[in-house]
Structure 1
Amino acid sequence: MTSELIHLKHGELEASLCPSLGGALAGFSCAGTALLRPWNGEATVRKMASYPLVPYSNRIADGRFGHAGRDVALRRNFGDHPHPLHGLGWQRAWTVADHSAHEATLLLQHRVDDAAAAADWPWAFDARQHFALEAEGLTVTLSYHNLSDESVPVGLGWHPYFPRHEDAELSFSAAEVWLMDERALPSERVEVPAAWDYRAARPVGAPGLDNCFARWQREARIAWPGKGLAVRLQASPALEHLVVFTPQDADFIAVEPVSHANNAINMQAPGAHGIKHVAPGASYEVLMHLSIERITR
């Protein structure tokens, strides 16, 4: 597998893509300052700046769920972790449909002609990512086109990693959050406690989060006052949830706009928790926009 990059540039903004490693973003910067954690060159998508989540986000408990009266079983895709994670798009090579100085389109085809592919996801689909670098930021769209002959439960999103630099601050508004059990699965949805309230910008540190927030306002802001820069993440309405991962000893934070709650496909009413049922031949699309702000010191 090669790891050739596609480079986009618009004024002081630069973005690089790695189609062969999960169709991922390898970097996004402004005048040389990293706005997403830059890829370190390791041949693993989890070291990238951001990657797509398709056809589901986060974990599916033990890789099993019911659909249309039958039991669906997915194989593990993350070592010995018992729950399949983040779909399959991040583990596949994408192809380049077109690109220019400012834009690029990547495609992924998933077919179920063999048992291994069907064990990753039993329904055929095409996925498409479009990247557009503009003067004020980066817009990314992700779509799922259902090629099967039945309605399919689908989730979409992204997993961007933001550098902490020396003084990262995070802000977003959400009304509820899912608590996690000992198996890293959601156990209860509660009002956001004061310790996890990021409506006002605050430094990223304790407590370390790995939780899915609900009823958020589709906007988050990551600021680095010492760099004089901030990124405002805006999400399309279908991205109803925000996963926030802030490991205390890491040099990054992950702020992930996603359509559904973790393991929503196994909840009593999956559609009420963000799962989208896509009809045969239909498509489902979401959007993320990362805009740049200058901070006046």
Structure 2
Amino acid sequence: MYALKEIETQGLQFIELASSDATSKAVICLNQGGRLSDFVFEKIQILADFHPSAYQDNYASSVLFPFANRIKGGAYTFNDSKYILDCNEKGKSNALHGLVYNKAFVCIHKTLTSDYASITLQYKDEGKNKGFPFKFNIELTYTLNSCGIALSVKIKNEDKRPFPFTLGWHPYFNSKDLDYSSIDFNSNSKYLFDHQQIISGTTSLGLEMPFQLKGVKLDDGYPLQTNEVEFLTPEYGFKFTSTSKENFLHLFTPDQPKVIAIEPMTGAANNFNNKIGLQTLEPNDVYKVEWDIAIDTLNTKVKSNKLINKLCNS
């Protein structure tokens, strides 16, 4: 039987989901936007440990809503009305990573069986933010099972007016050695960015897949042709899938070694302005997306050895 434990430490509330043999554990922080703060699968550390870096600086595993990535200058126009969001990105004067990453969620449902553990968290917004004055309800459902972990996000418009939105997720993944890791996705192009890290155009992708991560630094966005991204490390591999009709990806390698952010999004950066992937949710309507991470720890050693040989001989 899968297990659930509630933890309180340093003024924060956490819920830990664990497999029956305790080799797989997912820890969710309720106070920090309902984020997945730790994830171990079959004794392998999947999510990166950013200590002592603070969450307000790295946004690790934050859920991004009502916009993903950045809004230039925090300003946008929707249905002929102008709005200005608070600019929380230091040095670039952009609104960054949405409005729920620092909100307190409450647990409204728990399920424990012999096959999986699942919790649903909820946050209700009363529409008092001047930059996004719309009432909405957001629910996050995390499910841990023998295949990996899934995050389902459900948004309901509880306002009397429609509102624009994009969803994203900001997890950082650990690799034993990024030089012997690779990522594989289907895209024809990548976005160009200006000095504010705002999309200024596109260029041909020019990457051979799977893309070897040896010695690269990334802070790039891509429109995807499919809903799948694969990541391979010397210890494990996973397939990241999305139920979104349109899919976008942002990759970021921070200064911390052996770490990469693989960020799925339903729209591109600054799409409140450039409209790339932007959606509108009507009053009382519901939007749902699920991101699933299926992990392989049994067969990847052979694949990784082949990758290591290829990299060492290149």
Structure 2 length-normalised TM? 0.83
8 A contact 1:103–1:131 mirrored in 2? yes
Gaps of 5+ in 2: 1-9, 303-314
The answer to whether the 8 A contact 1:215-1:241 is kept is yes
The percentage of aligned residue pairs carrying the same residue is 23
Q: Give the C-alpha shift of residue 205 in structure 1.
A: 3.0
Among 95, 102, 110, the residue aligned to 1:99: 110
Larger CA deviation: 274-283 vs 157-166: 157-166
Question: In the alignment, is residue 203 of structure 1 matched against residue 210 of structure 2?
Answer: no
Residues 218-245 of structure 1: CA deviation (Å, up to 9, x unaligned): 21122222x2x11211111335111111
- What is the RMSD of the two structures over their aligned residues, measured on CA atoms? 2.1
Alignment gaps of 5+ in structure 1: none
Indicate if the aligned counterparts of 1:111 and 1:125 stay in contact, CA closer than 8 A: yes
Moved beyond 6 Å, runs of 4+ = none
* TM alignment of 1:118-267, pairs within 5 A: 118-166=129-177, 167-193=180-206, 197=207, 199-206=209-216, 208-225=217-234, 227=235, 229-247=236-254, 250-267=257-274
Number of residue pairs matched by the alignment: 283
Distance 1:26 1:204, change over 3 A: farther
- Provide the rounded CA distance (Å) in 1 between the counterparts of 2:45 and 2:270: 32
- After superposition, the Cα gap between the structure-2 partners of 1:48 and 1:104, relative to the gap in structure 1 and judged at 3 Å, is farther
Q: C-alpha separation between the residues in 1 aligned to 2:266 and 2:203?
A: 19
1:292 matched to 2:302? The reply is no
- Secondary structure of the residue aligned to 1:77 is coil
Answer whether contact 1:123 1:152 (CA < 8 A) is retained: yes
Distance in 2 between the 1:15 and 1:120 partners? Answer: 33
Q: Kindly provide the amino acid, as one letter, of the partner of residue 200 in structure 1.
A: P
TM-aligned CA deviation for residue 172 of structure 1? 1.6
Which structure is larger by alpha-carbon Rg, 1 or 2? Answer: 2
Structure 2 Cα separation of the partners of residues 37 and 286 of structure 1: 24
2:62 maps to: 51
> How far apart, CA to CA, are the structure 2 residues paired with 1:99 and 1:39?
28
Which TM-score applies when normalising by structure 1?
0.88
Match of 1:281 among 259, 281, 284: 284
Residue identity in the other structure for 1:63? G
Query: What amino acid maps onto 2:203 in structure 1?
Result: V
2:37 is aligned, of 14, 18, 26, to: 26
Q: Does 1:110 align with 2:125?
A: yes
User: 1:18: Cα distance to partner?
Assistant: 0.6
Task: Tell me if structure 1 keeps the 8 A contact 2:36–2:62.
Answer: yes
